[in-house]
Structure formats: structure tokens, C-alpha cells
């Protein structure tokens, strides 16, 4: 018999409630050993989708008031019988209840085991399981939308529709090749070409959107650079709306790198505020500047800050040079002060230039738009199907390549049985993508990255 497992499904911090989830054929029996409904009934008689109010019993004594939820297979998250005990959310109470559940016969669930069971029981496919992990770790609005969309099956639907077309074509070709004497209508070359081209286009769209999807869902490593006092820390504060980055008059105080994740126009920027760029004799500060240049070189996006109230300096010109050919935005700060900066030279060096007043919190929206344009995600549609990770992309690309090969072979007059091998290979890749044919190793690897309790 498949073992019944249990884990704490809520976070490892005090909260209003904490939930212990139990899944497996003995889930309700085990829950009934630690939970007594107040009305004197037994939890084991409870139908699915029902709740009871009662007490947690530990060592024969009432330990907490709690609510027990019962789900009956297959109508549960895992597809098995599930009981969930909601207790008061002090960490100790939640842990003690789990301990009691384990003593009553459940085994500790491994990382991601509930979702893995949902997958193995056919409740969700691999792309949906992966989207659960994405949903949990999502930091930005767009990321949240995209992963929820995947959980709803947007990607699965797209992949399955391509797969169906491929398998239909493959079946017709195989039948025609294998039973030439039967009266099976031949799949015309034109028809096959049309099907393959449509499949190729659908996969290509997914592949084309992969990078912008990644940008939106995973966030972008962003360096804020500029000479001392240009307003880097102030800009970071404006974006973060917190005081994590210390704003000060003394030049060179931001000696090390301060990091912060901020959401700008729904996109997460992993911001690094660096030491001011200028020649320095101070050893500590020099090290900071070294780091600033490194951060600039390693960043996917650079916000180069210039001071509107100062003339262009040597280090400004140096920064313009360093930003050439990079994904960089010139941010001219302190627009609330009289401008003495000549922006002409800056304009030549950057694709995007934005005016802000970090002090007054002005220009944030324009900056957000510039960021989206520069990253190529201005038109990003978070409701469209999206490949969520490198694994999914690899399968999709391989299927795409197989289809391209099949189309080429068709044009070159290669026989149907040879073309069918290529179509089958493409179908296999898509079956791996959704998990219908994924190896145990791939599956285990995916779920090992989950947290315990999910």
C-alpha cells in the first residue's frame, strides 16, 4: 500500500493558522486519531469537501482548537484521500500536531511530495507542477499571473494541441505505409506540410517568447551606477520605497554594494546600488569602485545615473563609454534643480534616456516604460502560454528542430516512413515536456526543488 504522508504546509513562521496536510489511503484514519470533532462524531465518517470543528488531542489531552478538512480520492489536491488540520499558527503547536500525526502512523512527506503525487495520479501534468513552484516563488505581479496561467493549463493546452496534430499525422502516415492494400486515403503532401507548418509556428511562438517570459518572471539583474552624489541611493530608495540604501551627503559612503528586489511596472529588478564611480585614493573605496565596475559588467540591465545639476565629468564620460552597446538606460536625476547638464553626449550613448527627480519621486513611470521597452517586454502578454524553464525549453526546441527536419525531408521527397520517424521524435519531446513520457530521474529532479509541505 502507498504510504500515507504528512507535513506542515504553511510557512515556518508564526501566523494566524498553521496547516498540517496528510495524504494517502490512511489519511482520514490518522487525522481521526489526533482530532476529535466537537459534535462527538468521527472524522472517519465525514464525506469529502467537508469540515469539522474540534480539538487536537495530544497524549490524551486537548491541546488546541482546530478545524479538520476532509477530501476524498480522487477529488483532492493529490488525488488521494487528504485530511488537513488547521491549528493555531504558533510554530510549536503546528510542530507538535505534526509530531502527533506522525506518531499516529503517517510518514514525513518529502519535498514536493504532495504535488508529485498529484502528478503521478494524473491530477496535473509536469508543466502545471512546475508552475506550482513558480507560483510559490513569484515575486512580481506579472510572474504571478504567468505562473497561475500555467497552473490553469495554458502551456499544456498548447503543447497537447500540437501533439495531437503530430500524432494524427503520424497515425495516418503509418496506416497508409503499413496497409497499402487497404482503402486508406493517402495523406496528401500538401496537407502534411500544412499540419507541420502550423505545429512549427506554434512551437516557434513559444520559443520566441521564452526570453521575455524569463525576464518578466525571474527578474533582471540591474546595476545602478554613476558618479558619487548623482543620486544612485536616492533612486534605489525611490524604487524600493524603503530606506535600505542609506542616503547621505558624504561622497563615497555607498562603499559596498546594496541589493534590493523591487517591482517596476510589474517586472522584478534585482537592484544593486554600487559605489560612486570616480578615481579614489581611499583603499576601501577603490575596492568598492572595482565592485561597481564588475556589477556593471555582469548586469543584464544598467541604470546609469547622471546629475542634472552638474556638468558632465570625466567619470560620466567614462560611464557613457562603458554603457555603449549594453542594455543601459541613462537616468538624469535631480530634475527639480536647475539643469546645467548638457544631455547631448548622453543621448548619443543610450537607447533610452529618462528624467527623474529621485527626491520628489518623479519619473518612475517613465523609467518603468523605458525598462520594458529596452528589455523587449512592453508587449508581453502574461496570459499567453509560456515555457517556464530550461527543461521545458529544451524539449520544445528539440521538437521544433525535428519538425523543421521533417518539413525539409518532405520538400526533398523523402519517403513517408522516414518522415514519420522525425514526427514521432518531435512527439516524444512534447510528451517529455508535459511529463507523459518523462524519465523518473527528470520527475524526481523537478520535485526535489520543491519545499516540504507542497
- Contact residues for ligand GDP, defined by CB under 6 A: 226, 228-234, 247-249, 254, 276, 333-334, 336-337, 357-359
C-alpha distances in angstroms, 278 versus 138, 227, 288, 312?
37, 6, 11, 13
Q: How far apart are CA 414 and CA 343, in angstroms?
A: 61
Q: Which is nearer to ligand GDP, 28 or 239 (CB)?
A: 239
Kindly state the smallest distance separating residue 354's Cβ from ligand GDP, in Å: 13
Kindly state the smallest distance separating residue 345's Cβ from ligand GDP, in Å: 19
Q: How far apart are CA 257 and CA 239, in angstroms?
A: 16
Kindly state the smallest distance separating residue 5's Cβ from ligand GDP, in Å: 51
Kindly state the smallest distance separating residue 202's Cβ from ligand GDP, in Å: 48
Q: How far apart are CA 390 and CA 213, in angstroms?
A: 12
Q: How far apart are CA 217 and CA 220, in angstroms?
A: 9
Kindly state the smallest distance separating residue 140's Cβ from ligand GDP, in Å: 24
Kindly state the smallest distance separating residue 237's Cβ from ligand GDP, in Å: 7
Q: Which helix (H) or strand (E) holds 373?
A: helix 364-375
Q: How far apart are CA 123 and CA 7, in angstroms?
A: 20
Q: Which is nearer to ligand GDP, 63 or 247 (CB)?
A: 247
Q: How far apart are CA 331 and CA 347, in angstroms?
A: 11
CB 93 within 8 A of CB 64: yes
Q: Which is nearer to ligand GDP, 76 or 233 (CB)?
A: 233
What phi, psi does 193 have (nearest 5°)? -60, -40
Q: Which is nearer to ligand GDP, 109 or 341 (CB)?
A: 341
Q: Which is nearer to ligand GDP, 131 or 274 (CB)?
A: 274
Kindly state the smallest distance separating residue 253's Cβ from ligand GDP, in Å: 7
Q: Which helix (H) or strand (E) holds 261?
A: strand 258-264
Q: Which is nearer to ligand GDP, 24 or 364 (CB)?
A: 364
CB 25 within 8 A of CB 19: no
Kindly state the smallest distance separating residue 224's Cβ from ligand GDP, in Å: 8
What phi, psi does 267 have (nearest 5°)? -105, 135
Q: Which is nearer to ligand GDP, 168 or 365 (CB)?
A: 365
Residues 332, 337, 340, 344, CA torsion sign: positive
Q: Which is nearer to ligand GDP, 222 or 233 (CB)?
A: 233
Can you point out the beta strands (E) in 26-74? 35-37, 50-58, 61-71
Amino acid at each position: 500500500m502507498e504510504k500515507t504522508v504528512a507535513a506542515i504546509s504553511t510557512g515556518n513562521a508564526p501566523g494566524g493558522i498553521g496547516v498540517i496536510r496528510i495524504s494517502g489511503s490512511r489519511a482520514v484514519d490518522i487525522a481521526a486519531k489526533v482530532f476529535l470533532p466537537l459534535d462527538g462524531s468521527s472524522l472517519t465518517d465525514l464525506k469529502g469537501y467537508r469540515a469539522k470543528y474540534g480539538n487536537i488531542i495530544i497524549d490524551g489531552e486537548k491541546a488546541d482548537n482546530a478545524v479538520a478538512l476532509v477530501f476524498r480520492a480522487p477529488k483532492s489536491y493529490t488525488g488521494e484521500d487528504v485530511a488537513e488540520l488547521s491549528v493555531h499558527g504558533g510554530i510549536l503547536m503546528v510542530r507538535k500536531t505534526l509530531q502527533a500525526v506522525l506518531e499516529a502512523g503517517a510518514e514525513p512527506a518529502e519535498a514536493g511530495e504532495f504535488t508529485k503525487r498529484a502528478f503521478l495520479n494524473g491530477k496535473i501534468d509536469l508543466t502545471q507542477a512546475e508552475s506550482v513552484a513558480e507560483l510559490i516563488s513569484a515575486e512580481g505581479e506579472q510572474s504571478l499571473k504567468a505562473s497561475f496561467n500555467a497552473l490553469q493549463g495554458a502551456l499544456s493546452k498548447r503543447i497537447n494541441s500540437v501533439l495531437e496534430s503530430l500524432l494524427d499525422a503520424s497515425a495516418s502516415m503509418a496506416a497508409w505505409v503499413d496497409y497499402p492494400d487497404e482503402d486508406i486515403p493517402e495523406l496528401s503532401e500538401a496537407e502534411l506540410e500544412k499540419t507541420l507548418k502550423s505545429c512549427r509556428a506554434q512551437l516557434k511562438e513559444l520559443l520566441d517568447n521564452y526570453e521575455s517570459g524569463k525576464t518578466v518572471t525571474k527578474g533582471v539583474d540591474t546595476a545602478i551606477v554613476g558618479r558619487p552624489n548623482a543620486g544612485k541611493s536616492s533612486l534605489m530608495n525611490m524604487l524600493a520605497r524603503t530606506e535600505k540604501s542609506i542616503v547621505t551627503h558624504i561622497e563615497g559612503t555607498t562603499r559596498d554594494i546594496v541589493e534590493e528586489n523591487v517591482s517596476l511596472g510589474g517586472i522584478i529588478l534585482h537592484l544593486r546600488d554600487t559605489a560612486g564611480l570616480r578615481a579614489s585614493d581611499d583603499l576601501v573605496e577603490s575596492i568598492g569602485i572595482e565592485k561597481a565596475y564588475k556589477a556593471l559588467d555582469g548586469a543584464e540591465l544598467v541604470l546609469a545615473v547622471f546629475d542634472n545639476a552638474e556638468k558632465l565629468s570625466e567619470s560620466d564620460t567614462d560611464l557613457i563609454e562603458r554603457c555603449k552597446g549594453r542594455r543601459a538606460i541613462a537616468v538624469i536625476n535631480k530634475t527639480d534643480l536647475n539643469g546645467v547638464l548638457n544631455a547631448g553626449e548622453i543621448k548619443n550613448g543610450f537607447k533610452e534616456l529618462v528624467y527623474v527627480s529621485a527626491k520628489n519621486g518623479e519619473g518612475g513611470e517613465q523609467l518603468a516604460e523605458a525598462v520594458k521597452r529596452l528589455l523587449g517586454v512592453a508587449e508581453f502578454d502574461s496570459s499567453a502560454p509560456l515555457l517556464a524553464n530550461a527543461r521545458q525549453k529544451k524539449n520544445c526546441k528539440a521538437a521544433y528542430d525535428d519538425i523543421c527536419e521533417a518539413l525539409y525531408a518532405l520538400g526533398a521527397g523523402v519517403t513517408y516512413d522516414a518522415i514519420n520517424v522525425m514526427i514521432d521524435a518531435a512527439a516524444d519531446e512534447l510528451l517529455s515536456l508535459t511529463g507523459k513520457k518523462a524519465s523518473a530521474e527528470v520527475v524526481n529532479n523537478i520535485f526535489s526543488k520543491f519545499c516540504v509541505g507542497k
